[in-house]
Structure 1
Amino acid sequence: MSGPDEANDTPELPQADVIPRSRWRMQLVWLVPIVAVLIGGWLATKAVLERGEKITVSFKTGEGLEAGKTKLKLKDVDIGIVEAVMLSPDQKRVVARAEVTRDVANLLVDDTRFWVVRPRISGGTVSGLGTLLSGSYIDVDVGSAKKSRRDFVGLEAPPVFASDMPGREFTLKSTGLGSLDVGSPVFFRRLRVGQIASYQLDPDGKGVTLKVFVNAPYDAFVKADTRFWHASGVNMEFDANGLKVETQSIVSVIIGGVAFESPADTTEDIPAGANTRFELYASRGDAMKQHDRIVDRYVVNFTDSVRGLTVGAPVDFRGVVIGEVKAIYTRFDRGTRRFSIPVEVEIYPERFTSRYQTGAGGRLHENPRELANYLVANGFRFQLRSGNPLTGQLYLAFDYFPDARKASIDWDKTPPELPAVPRTLQSLQDSVTRLLTKLNAIPFEAIGNDARAAMKTTNSLLSRVDKNVVPKAHDTLVSAQSALDSANNALQPDSSLQQSTEEAMRELTLTASSLRNLADYLQQHPEALVRGKSEQKP
């Protein structure tokens, strides 16, 4: 134990100054959580600032859509991803909720289009093969509208052309779709210049409306009078030059297509505007036919068969088509109790003109009715004629028949009725019928009886000839044969008559030689006839 002395020896310690502790003094240990909070806040702020736009796109089915995997692409660049796939409240469609990046949010306008890219075969083209490995995705085509939108209805098929593709769209009206489909090609002079964009049935169900897109610069060749026609299949025609086969390409034969062209005599130079409406014809021949402004409708009544005559058959005037058949009916006349076939035709007066005649627009007559009355009164009639012996097709011929019965046009009827004459074959049939009628009137039975009586008389006469004349004729022929045998024996080379004849001929030859010598001597010595032959001196 220490005593008092030890306590005094201990040195005194300095007194510590008490400094008050600051309430805001930061400890280093708090620096880490503060930095972590700052980083978290910055990341949260950045996430909020960079968060994309939320959109929804509805489809008929959810094929190819997967939440968290299916991407949205614009020009093959990822712009978003599908976050959820669900059914619509009415359970009729599938709604895909997606998020797109903020830098493309201004492209989400009213006419922006979305569709699922998957392998497809349509219109002769194959698309989406790359998705076999990478999976389906939603493609985007940005529209040109100004109004923004966030809820969209997706397309069930990819659009034929992008919104920014140069070119123009036109409208075609047709009675049927044929073999056309979305994506079917459009041809101009056998070059593929566009495609079918869409089609739909008309509300009245009597036709089809198609939308075609023609790429630039070929859209400039579509004029106001351009003609469109079905280019599907092979068009075969028989004419004076033989068989004519026309087609656009093998593709059009298989999948169909549309072709267009302007008439050769067109005067239009200004391209047609977008969405201009055109008629879609069945063939190039129908499309390029002359379209007449003046059309007169008449009826031609036939009593013979019109088998082979079809609607659209030409009305021909000596090789020039002046109209066509529009309808064929049947008619029963209660007065005569007979059937007839009225054929409704359209006549184009503009074709029945003279190009070398001035005035009245080149028409043959200022008054069409007066001209028609004059032609009918002078023997012009309609007649069915065969246009193609191979197919049996008929056409209507308007020609001059001098022996036709007198007729006139009743202009009070609607439409007026024009007279006709039977076709040549029918006339021949009528002639044969009249001939058979006359033949039936001949009394062949009485003539046969008379012929049999005459034959009996002839047979009796021949029997008497056999009994009396034939034996005498036989004796005469035997005598003639004996005379011919005697003459033949006399003419043989070793017969006495032949030898005597030869000796006589030799004597005649010597005599002729002596006479010739005497004549020569007398010619030289004519005095010998008086004095005689003088002797020659040696």
Structure 2
Amino acid sequence: MAHPPDSPPPDLPDALAVPRSRWRVQWIWLVPLIAVLIGVWLAARAILEQGPTITISFKTGEGLEAGKTKIKFKDVDIGVVKSVALSKDYSRVVATAELTQDASNMLVDDTRFWVVRPRVSGGTVSGIGTLLSGAYIGMDIGKAKGGRRDFVGLETPPVFASDVPGHEYVLRSDDLGSVDVGTPVYFRRLQVGQVVAYELDPNGKGVTLRVFVNAPYDKFVTPNTRFWHASGVDVSLNTEGVKVNTQSLVSILIGGLAFQSPPDAPDESPAPAHTTFQLFSDRTEAMKTHDRIVVDYVFNFKESVRGLVVGAPVDFRGIQIGEVAAIHTRFDPVTRQFSIPVQVKFYPERFTSRYESEPRGGRLTRSPREMADFLVSRGMRAQLKTGSLITGQLYIALDFFPNAPKAEVNWDRDPPELPTVPSGLQSLQESVSELMARMNKIPFESIGKNAQQTLARADTLLQSFNTDLVPQARDTLTAARTTLDSANSALQPDSALQQDTTDAVRELSRTAAALRSLAEYLERHPEALLRGKAGDGK
């Protein structure tokens, strides 16, 4: 209800002064103090829970983005990239990343980092998931003891993690072939590993590869194991014909390596990690018998060696006892002729027999020089032979030729030179050449002139015969024909001569019958020669 303006104001209570309390001011400041304490506690907790900060350098910053690129270990986030900057010399990109506190023990000297992005290498495809989620930095924990905070990132992801069971081995080869990081390694056509790295040797004369064989297949790698290229289709043309060999369809497309121990190799314990092996070009080369004793000799051929290649076998009655090591040419200034010296490697151990009670190995004799002189004196020679009509390749055959010219081993040369004999085809060619040379010595031109003169004389004789003798011979033949016609007429059945002859023959027949009757009568009556017939006296 409003107070009327003309009425006196109501009575108001008197104000009393109350003294100010000190505790009210302290309680007001307690709230911000608590907030500060909470902030300090949170900051201390953040500091205590903060993980280590590391730097990782890469060649390029592809796929790296500050605040977004994650660092993962086994697909678990353990950090994030905070900044990306160039190095002071502008040669690399340095990524600064902050990891969780739990990752502190993972940062050792051999810990590896790499950028995971879509990649196709060595027949393997990786990082396909990053097409949608984006690139991230992968991590693999090392086994070293010392800690580290600055790292050099890998440009390619490691093929296997450090905790994968197995062993790594070193291979040395003349060239890389079709091998790449991730190329599969086969054992009896089963994939058991892969190539992890390769590099050119410092001297530039070869390539060093590192392969990883997974457990439990690493136990099949022994000191006698042979590694070889199993890339694509291996087609070889040799003295035995055409051979085609391959490991699998995958190796045909992307290549591969394979390993196996020789069939006659003894059972041995597995080779230790990082053992070095020779990488051969193919399985045939890898499985060759590697003899301990090798002796070099030279065969000096004077015929064409077309079809003979380095590696061709040296054969002794069907057994390979060596192989061709080099083929050269030589000019003899004395005879002024060219020859083809072929250097070969002999394996003396293959000449020795293998008995049940005797181990194989060693030389055939303690005096190789004396044995070589003896065999050559008995006619042992080297000869080129065709190993395959399809390929046309040659090989060297050792055998005994008793009729070969005498020869000796030339020990003055290094390597020593053994005698040779021409091949069968060369001997045939020499025989044909000798025959042609003898035929060339025949005076065919003089013989032809003499023959022409003889024919001319014969032609003159024939012409004289036709001119002088033919008319006389014609008259003689006409007279002879007349005589024959007369004789033929006289011999006709109705001719007078033929009738008289018939009558004469009849009379002779009657006379013969009368004589026969008289003879028979006198045989019965011999006294008739004195008395006559009995009927005549009466």
The TM-score range, normalised by the shorter chain, is 0.7 to 0.9
Distance 2:96 2:480 in 1: 131
Deviation of 1:391 after TM superposition, in Å, equals 2.2
Query: Residue 317 and residue 393 in structure 1: after superposition, are their counterparts in 2 closer, same or farther (change >3 A)?
Result: same
Distance 1:200 1:53 in 2: 34
Q: What SS does the aligned partner of 2:270 have? A: coil
Deviation of 1:361 after TM superposition, in Å, equals 5.3
Structure 2 letter corresponding to 1:269: E
Distance 1:266 1:33 in 2: 84
Whether the 8 Å contact between 1:110 and 1:147 is mirrored in structure 2 is: yes
CA displacement, residues 265-316 of structure 1 (integer Å, 9 cap, x when unaligned)? 1113200110111110011000001010000111111111212211111111
1:435 aligns with 2:405: no
Structure 2 letter corresponding to 1:321: Q
Distance 1:328 1:159 in 2: 45
Query: Residue 332 and residue 239 in structure 1: after superposition, are their counterparts in 2 closer, same or farther (change >3 A)?
Result: closer
Deviation of 1:253 after TM superposition, in Å, equals 1.4
Structure 1 letter corresponding to 2:425: L
1:235 aligns with 2:213: no
CA displacement, residues 196-240 of structure 1 (integer Å, 9 cap, x when unaligned)? 111111111111111010000000000110010000121235689
Query: Residue 477 and residue 432 in structure 1: after superposition, are their counterparts in 2 closer, same or farther (change >3 A)?
Result: farther
1:123 aligns with 2:122: yes
Structure 2 letter corresponding to 1:433: S
Deviation of 1:39 after TM superposition, in Å, equals 2.3
CA displacement, residues 449-492 of structure 1 (integer Å, 9 cap, x when unaligned)? 1111222233344446667569689979999xx9xxx9xxx9xx
Deviation of 1:390 after TM superposition, in Å, equals 2.2
Distance 1:239 1:330 in 2: 23
Query: Residue 183 and residue 360 in structure 1: after superposition, are their counterparts in 2 closer, same or farther (change >3 A)?
Result: closer
Q: What SS does the aligned partner of 2:352 have? A: coil
Question: Which segment is superposed worse, 99-108 or 380-389?
Answer: 380-389
Find the counterpart in structure 2 of residue 177 from structure 1: 176
Query: Residue 57 and residue 476 in structure 1: after superposition, are their counterparts in 2 closer, same or farther (change >3 A)?
Result: farther
Whether the 8 Å contact between 2:310 and 2:327 is mirrored in structure 1 is: yes
Distance 1:474 1:230 in 2: 99
Structure 2 letter corresponding to 1:410: N
Find the counterpart in structure 2 of residue 426 from structure 1: 426
Q: What SS does the aligned partner of 1:388 have? A: coil
Distance 1:240 1:73 in 2: 58
Find the counterpart in structure 2 of residue 100 from structure 1: 99
Find the counterpart in structure 2 of residue 63 from structure 1: 62
Deviation of 1:28 after TM superposition, in Å, equals 4.4
Distance 2:335 2:435 in 1: 25
Whether the 8 Å contact between 1:172 and 1:280 is mirrored in structure 2 is: yes
CA displacement, residues 22-70 of structure 1 (integer Å, 9 cap, x when unaligned)? 6455554434323322321221111111111100000000000000111
Q: What SS does the aligned partner of 1:193 have? A: strand
- The aligned runs of 1:477-516 (5 Å cut-off) are none
1:367 aligns with 2:367: yes
Find the counterpart in structure 1 of residue 209 from structure 2: 210
Find the counterpart in structure 1 of residue 414 from structure 2: 414
Whether the 8 Å contact between 1:72 and 1:82 is mirrored in structure 2 is: yes
Whether the 8 Å contact between 1:225 and 1:268 is mirrored in structure 2 is: no
Distance 1:334 1:460 in 2: 62
Query: Residue 146 and residue 477 in structure 1: after superposition, are their counterparts in 2 closer, same or farther (change >3 A)?
Result: farther
Instruction: Tell me the TM-score normalized by structure 1.
Output: 0.81
Q: What SS does the aligned partner of 1:427 have? A: helix
Find the counterpart in structure 2 of residue 76 from structure 1: 75
Distance 1:476 1:268 in 2: 114
Instruction: Tell me the TM-score normalized by structure 2.
Output: 0.81
Distance 1:244 1:48 in 2: 71
Whether the 8 Å contact between 2:200 and 2:206 is mirrored in structure 1 is: yes
- The aligned runs of 1:303-322 (5 Å cut-off) are 303-322=302-321
Distance 2:375 2:85 in 1: 79
Query: Residue 477 and residue 204 in structure 1: after superposition, are their counterparts in 2 closer, same or farther (change >3 A)?
Result: farther
Find the counterpart in structure 2 of residue 252 from structure 1: 251
Find the counterpart in structure 1 of residue 343 from structure 2: 344
Unaligned runs of at least 5 residues, structure 1: 1-12, 491-538
Query: Residue 404 and residue 62 in structure 1: after superposition, are their counterparts in 2 closer, same or farther (change >3 A)?
Result: same
Query: Residue 330 and residue 239 in structure 1: after superposition, are their counterparts in 2 closer, same or farther (change >3 A)?
Result: closer
Whether the 8 Å contact between 2:353 and 2:360 is mirrored in structure 1 is: no
Find the counterpart in structure 2 of residue 393 from structure 1: 393
Deviation of 1:339 after TM superposition, in Å, equals 1.5
Q: Percent identity?
A: 62
Question: Which segment is superposed worse, 243-252 or 109-118?
Answer: 243-252
Structure 1 letter corresponding to 2:83: A
Distance 1:87 1:305 in 2: 66
Deviation of 1:92 after TM superposition, in Å, equals 0.3
Find the counterpart in structure 1 of residue 455 from structure 2: 455
Distance 1:296 1:475 in 2: 97
Find the counterpart in structure 2 of residue 49 from structure 1: 48
Q: What SS does the aligned partner of 1:278 have? A: strand
1:445 aligns with 2:445: yes
Distance 1:135 1:165 in 2: 27
Q: What SS does the aligned partner of 2:42 have? A: helix
Find the counterpart in structure 2 of residue 276 from structure 1: 275
Query: Residue 48 and residue 477 in structure 1: after superposition, are their counterparts in 2 closer, same or farther (change >3 A)?
Result: farther
Query: Residue 381 and residue 474 in structure 1: after superposition, are their counterparts in 2 closer, same or farther (change >3 A)?
Result: farther
Query: Residue 44 and residue 358 in structure 1: after superposition, are their counterparts in 2 closer, same or farther (change >3 A)?
Result: closer
Structure 2 letter corresponding to 1:395: Y
Structure 2 letter corresponding to 1:323: G
Q: What SS does the aligned partner of 1:411 have? A: coil
Find the counterpart in structure 2 of residue 334 from structure 1: 333
CA displacement, residues 241-279 of structure 1 (integer Å, 9 cap, x when unaligned)? 975421001111121111000111111320011011111
